Amino acid sequence: MEAILVDCVNHSLRHFMHRNAIFMCERLCAEFPSETNLQLLAGCYLQNNQAYSAYHILKAFFFSLLSVGTQMAQSRYLFAISCFQMDLLNEAEAALCPTNEPGLEVPNGAPGHYLLGLIYRYTDRRKSAIHHFKQALSIDPLFWAAYEELCILGAAEEAAAVFDEAAALCIQKQHMNHASASQNLSISNEDRNLVSARNFGLEDGSPRQSKHPQGNNLRDIPGNYHGATTLGGSASQPSNGGLPNLSFYNTPSPMATQLSSVAPPPLCRNMQPNGSNPSMPGFDNSARSTLNSNMQAPRRKFVDEGKLRKISGRLFSDSGPRRSTRLAAEAGSNQNTSSTLVAGNGTNNSPKYLGGSKFSSMAIRSVTVRKGQSWVNENYDEGIRNEAFDDSRANNTSSNCSLSLTGDSRSLETEVATMPVGGVIASPSCILSGALEILGLLRTLGEGYRLSCMYRCQDALDVYMKLPHKHYNTGWVLCQVGKAYVELVDYLEADRAFSLARRASPYSLEGLDVYSTVLYHLKEDMKLSYLAQELISTDRLAPQSWCAIGNCYSLQKDHETALKNFQRAVQLDSRFAYAHTLCGHEYVALEDFENGIKSYQSALRIDARHYNSWHGLGMVYLRQEKNEFSEHHFRMAFQINPCSSVIMSYLGTALHALKRNEEALEMMERAILADKKNPLPMYQKANILVSLESFDEALEVLEELKEYAPRESSVYALMGKIYKRRNMHEKAMFHFGLALDLKPSATDVATIKAAIEKLHVPDELEDSL
The yes-or-no verdict on residue 229 having pLDDT over 50 is: no
* Average of per-residue pLDDT across 446-458: 95
Q: What is the pLDDT of residue 98?
A: 84
Distance CA(357)–CA(504), nearest Å, equals 39
Give per-residue pLDDT as tens, 345-390.
Answer: 344 444 333 333 333 443 444 443 333 333 333 333 333 334 433 4
Task: Report which secondary-structure segment, H or E, holds 218.
Answer: strand 214-221
pLDDT band at 91 (very low <50, low <70, confident <90, very high): very high
- Give the ranges where 590-678 is alpha helix by DSSP (H): 593-606, 611-623, 627-640, 645-657, 661-674
Q: What percent of the chain has pLDDT over 90?
A: 50
Among 3-7, 121-125, 743-747, where is mean pLDDT lowest?
Answer: 743-747
Number of H helices, E strands in the chain: 37, 5
The yes-or-no verdict on residue 660 having pLDDT over 60 is: yes
Q: What is the pLDDT of residue 279?
A: 39
For 608, phi then psi, to 5°, come to -70, -15
Q: How many CB atoms lie within 10 A of CB 190?
A: 15
Distance CA(669)–CA(682), nearest Å, equals 8
The yes-or-no verdict on residue 509 having pLDDT over 90 is: yes
Q: What is the pLDDT of residue 426?
A: 65
The yes-or-no verdict on residue 744 having pLDDT over 60 is: yes
Give per-residue pLDDT as tens, 193-226.
Answer: 444 444 444 333 333 333 333 333 333 444 333 3
The yes-or-no verdict on residue 334 having pLDDT over 80 is: no
Using CA atoms in the order 197, 201, 204, 210, what is the torsion angle rounded to 10 degrees? Answer: -30
Give per-residue pLDDT as tens, 29-67.
Answer: 999 999 999 999 999 999 999 999 999 999 888 776 645
pLDDT band at 183 (very low <50, low <70, confident <90, very high): low
Q: What is the pLDDT of residue 470?
A: 94
Q: What is the pLDDT of residue 177?
A: 81
Q: What percent of the chain has pLDDT over 70?
A: 66
Among 90-104, 380-394, 690-704, where is mean pLDDT lowest?
Answer: 380-394
* Average of per-residue pLDDT across 533-559: 95
Distance CA(190)–CA(170), nearest Å, equals 30
* Burial of 491 per CB tally in 10 Å (0-12, 13-18, 19+): buried
Give per-residue pLDDT as tens, 679-700.
Answer: 899 999 999 999 888 999 999 9
Instruction: Answer whether 0.75 is exceeded by the pTM.
Output: no
Q: In 3D, which of 545, 529, 527 has the Cα closest to residue 537?
A: 545
Q: In 3D, which of 448, 477, 452, 434 has the Cα closest to residue 167?
A: 434
Give per-residue pLDDT as tens, 517-537.
Answer: 999 999 999 999 999 999 999
| Per-residue DSSP letter, 242 | S
With residues binned 3-state (H G I as helix, E B as strand, rest as coil), the percentages for the chain, rounded to 5, are 60, 5, 35
- Average pLDDT of the chain, as a whole number: 75
What SS3 state is found at 403? strand
Distance CA(506)–CA(509), nearest Å, equals 8
| Strands, E assignment, 352-498 | 403-404, 419-421, 424-426
Pair 489, 675: CB distance under 8 Å? yes
CA distances from 618 to 56, 136, 314, 355, 365 (A): 44, 37, 45, 19, 14
The amino acid at 261? S
Task: Report which secondary-structure segment, H or E, holds 549.
Answer: helix 543-555
